[in-house]
Amino acid sequence: MDITRDVMRMLDEGKSLKEIRAYVDRSYSRFGPSTPTPPVP
C-alpha cells in the first residue's frame, strides 16, 4: 500500500518511471529483495 501511494504521489509530481523505480528500490530494499521486474527502459 505504501509503495502505491508513493508511486502515485511521484507521478503527480512529474517524476519519471526510472526515478520512481530507483526510489522504490532504494526505500524498500530493507524489507527484502525486489521482484525480478525488468528495469524501466
Chain segment 1-41, per-residue pLDDT in tens: 799 999 999 999 999 999 999 999 999 888 888 888 888 77
Of the chain, the end-to-end C-alpha distance in Å amounts to 25
Backbone angles phi, psi at 4, to 5 degrees: -60, -45
pTM above 0.85, yes or no: no
- What pLDDT is attached to residue 15? 98
